[in-house]
Structure 1
Amino acid sequence: MVDVRELAIKWALKNAVDHGGRAELGPVIAKMVAESPEVKARIKELRPVIQEAVEQVNAMSLEEQVRRLEEIAPELLRREARKEEKKLPPLPNAVKGKVVTRLPPEPSGYMHLGHAMSGLLNYLYARMYEGGLWLRFEDTNPRKAGLEYYENFRRGYRWLGIEWDYEKNNSDDMKLYYEYAEKLIKEGHLYVCTCTPEEMSRQRREMRECLHRRHTTDENMELWSRMQDGGFKEGEAVVRLAGDMRSKNTAMRDPVMFRIVEHPHPIVGDRYRVWPTYDFAASIQDSLCGVTHVLRSSEFAFRDELQNYIRRLLGMRNPTIIEYSRFEFKGTPTSKRVIRELIEEGVVEGWDDPRLTTIDAIRRRGILPEAIKEFTITQTGFSYAKRVYDWSLIASINRKILDPVARRMFFVPEPVKLTVEGLGYSEVTLPYHPSRDMGVRVLKVDNWVYVPRNDLTKIGVGNMLRLKQLANVKLTTLEDDTAVGEFMGKEPVEGVPIIQWVGLESADVVVYKPGELIADDGSVNRDSMGILRGVAERSVETVRYDEVVQFERFGFCRRDSGEELKFIYAHD
């Protein structure tokens, strides 16, 4: 005997995840009947149970819906992923069942859209080739790593629907790095250098070898031990690779492989004071993890030669490296350093400020993970050409996903009270959605309504307007906070501008409208967050926290607070 409630929850979750977080009764019943035909004969009896399941699912956040669906029916999530993956170009040197990719975040800041898009590519390719995916934290700089950042990346990847098969931290293998370092010192490939950073930079510019390359193996091993035992302070000694100081690639000019960092690590603590640089640790880890394909942005291209060289010295296999243009978005920074400065200066309120491209910020803005996924697949190209994306590209995809599922409501920014002579008391029943059965609301008016000031100013005294689904009105006077009009009938008149309105039952609403934080000339726009105060129909109080609705003639907005009627504008 089928468990009807379980079946209803499963298909309600699937329907909600596919449609921006809101399930509909009809499609859920259809899926249940398709899976268990015996449900059809009892549908009248079971309808209340199914309705309750749909309401329970709709009360969840989209993130929770994805998590629950992954728990009870992960194949429904994976099926969607496979459908999308068909749009990706094939990988070179890829063998089905053998491909291994990785998510390599540095836990030194919050996950942003570039991390998300790169993560999606690695995830989708791993699944396309039925391979494996590592989540590997590049955390060998103790001064930058923070526990909150590890969890932020995990949460962000889960929100995107990314599943990883294995997880580790680069800091887990410190003893192994030391073993490899000693091996390379003894073979003459690494040496300890006590030059100042300024002197090392000068050597690289002048393509001049450091005198410390002449150290004997014993001298290098003694200096290496002193670095670990406290014989040098931070900045007094480093371990460098004996590379090629005349190479056109500056990354090969005796780069630093180990340095002293006198700062506790959030996971390892203070057990180590000598830490490998990114290039040394990442080179080794890609081999240890069996990574076959490294997919990353082209800013790393000059490091390919160095990392491949390190692996060759250690007798390790090199992966196939595929690079693409860095993901940048017009009007917003992705640099952690720049964002930190903006936070410290009070320009933005935090890492989740909706003007930023962090994943927390994008979620607050009402952008759905499905939109990011589709954008990634359609826009990514394996090219070095720099591209700066416009927000409108993501908005167009997000709008397409939201439009079938978002409830419609009236919101009036900067309201003016319009008295309509001859209108009288009236009630209007309007659907929440123009084409889907999502219920209705009843709007009540007497002889006045709130309307947007900007609309009245544009229409002008003496001209006619239409209050949507209500009445035609001729505007006769317009003052600062009030206006008067004359009722001109209820039948629509062609060519008359239609505006939204709010009547007797209203609620005060605040909408935050993010603008471009960085101007074209690189300056910071400190007034880039617009704040619009207005009134909405009373049914706005039924909007759940995290739900996105469409305020008609205004735009899609996400409720940002469970207590206040505070919304964040996503796009039109």
Structure 2
Amino acid sequence: MSEEKSLNFIEEIVENDLNSGKYETLVTRFPPEPNGYLHIGHAKAICLNFGLTQKYGGYTNLRFDDTNPVTEKTEYVNSQQEDIKWLGFNWKNELYASNYFDELYGFALKLIEKGLAYVDESTADEIAALKGTPTEPGQDSPHRNRSIEENLDLFTRMKNGEFGDGAYTLRAKIDMTSPNMLMRDPIIYRIKHAEHHRTGNKWCIYPMYDFAHGQSDSIENITHSICTLEYVSHRELYDWLIEKLEIFPSKQYEFARLNLTSTVMSKRKLLQLVNENLVSGWDDPRMPTISGLRRRGFTPKSIREFCERIGIAKRENLIELSLLEFCIREDLNKTANRVMAVLDPIKLVITNYPEGKTEELIGENNPEAEDGGGTRVIPFSNELWIEREDFMEVPAKKWFRLAPGAMVRLKFAYIVKCEDFVKDANGNVTEIHCTYIPESKSGSDTSGVHVKGTIHWVSAQHAKTAEIRLYDRLFTSETPDAEEGDFKDYLNPESLTILPNAYIEPALAEASLDNRYQFIRKGYFCLDKDSTADKLVFNRTVTLKDTFKKA
């Protein structure tokens, strides 16, 4: 009998709340800001929020926190929706903070009417100077004690567009001596004359995140508002606003965000990489974005498994990228068909095999597959492509591949013996001549000859050409964010190697973007969206083993 998996601390809270009758229905939300593409860190939050309502019933809303019109785009909304669906989750309601702009404006008026908010014309520098420090109390703004009537008039005029950007702000009136700096009269509305991706030019004042977020949760009756640890200090303001507005008491809970080695997670820094053309786009296969991982060949299952393995904690930690790679290897080992591809080709001619003859050999698709994997037909002829690294003119000790006089087995085919080779004017080997043993055919070998090495190949007559893109870690440092200088100084110059003239089995001409393959002895690969009918492009998802050398 398997042990029951222990609950994480958020699951314990949820179970207690449901069992005590505090809530009848569990309601969570995933609230991305549509200012970039989602990354692997968001995947952890997605799996947590949607996973809770899958486990305990209830539902999850997708709510876009679109309160900053300058940085937000419909493109980002669409990509974020696609990523969530691809990961295997469905939301009940698609919502936007901008849905609530009228209600939020009403909430702001209510605070003013209660004497709990005021309009301030202090500049950003003046507000910062009066804010104090963590050890020194702040000082009241000279505009803090305006009358309710004057505040209502000014806030209405702010809404009506009478003032320029930054001329006024609306601040909550809380406590300028609070030990929590966020409680020292935080700004809750600012003037921003900018077109919004959904509301156009209807508004020229926009709520700040802290004002919009908790109130949006409350409007939607979110029972458990789950966010990352950097919002711990925001919880006091979250609760204060809900209490003073006398609205549904959503509760905020914080967990440790995902920190992953050899990459950056800041959307600002990822946007820098995109805008400065240091990567090909948000979905560059080296990026930690969900769309980048998808393009590289990661599967939804592997990412969900990764999120499950790292768990939900209260303390920040750094997760090795190798764990994510382990999860995709584990998944693809059971699901990816084995095929043969030669990335750095050299010609092998079997001199005693009839020229012009084609033989159809049988290859296993995936011996690890639960259904047995099935088989496929592989054409064989007297001229093959093999890997250049599988031949050595002067063999090293314990060399079990091809060399003058040495024998190897060709995968799914015959045993061959190297008789001689040809060099060009520069001394490079261009062609290897072998003989084969007709009785040594795989599956019916009666030759009595035993060899230690097996190499892969493709028939030169039948092979298709392809471009192969070998991806590695984007940064040479495990913690580029923490290094001195610019994080871009640690970009890995070898994060992408392009092999323009590889040869692949003819069956791969039918590959689709949904397929995953193990190129025998080379790693796991998938078709890239850049492929055309005339030019196939394959991305390496991950090597067969963890080969990364730490700098």
* TM-score, scaled relative to structure 1: 0.79
Deviations along 1:496-537, one digit per CA (max 9) or x if unpaired, are 332211123101111212222223143223552221231112
Give the drift of 1:220: 1.9
Of residues 466-475 and 409-418 in structure 1, the stretch that sits farther from structure 2 once superposed is 466-475
Please give the alpha-carbon distance, in whole angstroms, between the structure 2 residues aligned to 1:375 and 1:478.
49
Unmatched 5+ stretches in structure 2: 441-446, 478-482, 545-551
> Relative to structure 1, is the Cα distance of residues 552 and 148 closer, same or farther in structure 2, using a 3 angstrom cutoff?
same
Change (3 A) 1:423 1:302: farther
> Among 525, 532, 544, which residue is 1:557 paired with?
525
Deviation at 1:475, TM superposition (A): 7.1
Match of 1:498 among 454, 468, 477: 454
SS in 1 for 2:380: strand
One-letter amino acid of the counterpart of residue 471, structure 1: I
Contact 1:410–1:552 under 8 Å retained in 2: yes
Deviation, 1:198, is 2.0
What's the CA shift string for 1:7-62, capped at 9, x where partnerless? xxxxxxxxxxxxxxxxxxxxxxxxxxxxxxxxxxxxxxxxxxxxxxxxxxxxxxxx
1:29-178 aligned within 5 A: 89=8, 90-92=11-13, 93-95=16-18, 97-178=24-105
1:241 aligns with 2:172: yes
Residue among 372, 384, 406 paired with 1:449: 384
- Aligned CA distance change for structure 1 residues 492 and 227 (closer, same or farther; 3 Å): farther
State the alpha-carbon separation in 1 of the partners of residues 422 and 209 from structure 2. 65
Separation (CA, whole Å) in 2 of partners of 1:196 and 1:350: 37
- Shift of residue 285, structure 1, vs aligned partner: 1.2
Which region of structure 1 is more displaced relative to structure 2, 279-288 or 538-547? 538-547
Q: Is the 8 A contact 2:470 2:497 kept in 1?
A: yes
Q: Is the 8 A contact 1:410 1:537 kept in 2?
A: yes
Q: Contact 1:325–1:383 at 8 Å: present in 2 too?
A: yes
Deviation per CA, 1:340-383: give whole Å up to 9, x if none.
22122211111111111222111111111111122212212222
**Percent identity among equivalent residues?**
30
Unaligned stretches of 5+ residues in structure 1: 1-84
* SS in structure 2 at match of 1:484: strand
Contact 1:418 1:482 (C-alpha < 8 Å) held by counterparts: no
Which segment is superposed worse, 178-187 or 393-402?
Answer: 393-402
- Answer whether contact 2:87 2:301 (CA < 8 A) is retained: yes
- 1:329 maps onto 2:252 in alignment: no
**Partner residue in 2 for 1:415:** 345
Q: Could you say what secondary structure the match of 2:131 adopts?
A: helix
1:529 maps to which of 493, 496, 504 = 496
Native 8 Å contact 1:558 1:568 kept in 2: yes
Is 1:511 equivalent to 2:479 in the alignment? no
* Residue in structure 2 matched with residue 399 of structure 1 by the alignment: 329
Q: Which has a greater percent of helix?
A: 1
How far apart, CA to CA, are the structure 1 residues paired with 2:219 and 2:419?
75
Alpha-carbon shift at residue 443 of structure 1 (Å) = 2.2
Shift of 1:191: 1.5
Query: How far apart in 2 are the matches of 1:108 and 1:466?
Result: 55
Aligned residue in 2 for 1:468: 411
Superposed counterparts of 1:129-528, under 5 Å? 129-206=56-133, 207-209=137-139, 210-390=141-321, 392-422=322-352, 424=354, 427=359, 428-434=361-367, 436-446=372-382, 448-457=383-392, 459=399, 461-462=403-404, 463-469=406-412, 470-474=414-418, 476-477=420-421, 479=423, 480=428, 482-487=430-435, 489=437, 490=440, 496-503=452-459, 504-520=461-477, 521=483, 522=487, 523-528=490-495
Please tell me whether residue 568 in structure 1 is matched to residue 546 in structure 2: no
Q: Structure 2 counterpart of 1:497, which letter?
A: G
Deviations 1:85-128 (A, max 9, x none): 97754331431652111111111111222222211211110121
Displacement after TM superposition at 1:317 (Å): 4.4
Contact 1:545–1:562 at 8 Å: present in 2 too? Answer: no
CA distance, structure 1, for counterparts of residue 18 and residue 173 of structure 2: 36
Distance 1:343 1:452, change over 3 A: same
Q: Secondary structure at the match of 1:291?
A: coil
Q: TM-score, normalised by structure 2?
A: 0.82
The answer for the alignment partner of 1:49 in structure 2 is none
- Inter-CA distance 464–183: structure 2 relative to 1 (3 Å threshold): same
| Change in CA separation of 1:497 and 1:253 when aligned onto 2, cut-off 3 Å | farther
Two-structure CA RMSD over aligned residues (Å): 2.5
Cα distance in 2 for residues equivalent to 1:198 and 1:414: 61
**Residue 509 of structure 2, aligned match among 541, 548, 552:** 541
Give how far 1:492 is off.
Answer: 8.6
**Match of 1:42?**
none
Q: Secondary structure at the match of 1:251?
A: helix
Moved more, 465-474 or 216-225: 465-474
How many equivalent residue pairs? 487
Which one is further off, 406-415 or 147-156? 147-156
Alpha-carbon shift at residue 485 of structure 1 (Å)? 4.5
1:204–1:477 CA distance, 2 compared to 1 (3 A): farther
2:57 maps to a residue whose letter is E
| Range with greater deviation from structure 2 (416-425 or 128-137) | 416-425
Q: CA deviation at 1:422?
A: 4.1
> Residue type of the partner of 1:473?
K
Could you tell me how far apart the structure 1 residues matched to 2:188 and 2:42 are? 25
Change (3 A) 1:511 1:139: same
Q: Secondary structure at the match of 1:212?
A: coil
Output one character per residue of 1:317-338: Cα deviation in whole Å (capped at 9) or x when no partner.
Answer: 4434332221232223332221
Between the aligned partners of 1:333 and 1:400, the Cα distance in structure 2 is: 25
Q: Which amino acid aligns with 1:548?
A: R
Amino acid in structure 1 at the alignment position of 2:332: L
Aligned to 1:70: none
Letter in 2 for 1:176: E
Q: How far apart are residue 271 of structure 1 and its match?
A: 0.8
SS in 2 for 1:531: strand
Deviation, structure 1 residue 396: 2.3
Distance 2:250 2:147 in 1: 33
Question: Aligned with 1:121: secondary structure?
Answer: helix
Distance 2:448 2:176 in 1: 79
Which segment drifts farther, 518-527 or 529-538?
518-527
Change (3 A) 1:193 1:326: same
Q: Distance in 2 between matches of 1:514 and 1:189?
A: 55
Residue 385 (structure 1) shift:
2.0
Q: Give the conservation status (yes or no) of the 8 Å contact 2:378–2:505.
A: no
CA, structure 1 residues 538+222, in 2 after alignment: closer, same or farther (shift >3 Å)? Answer: same
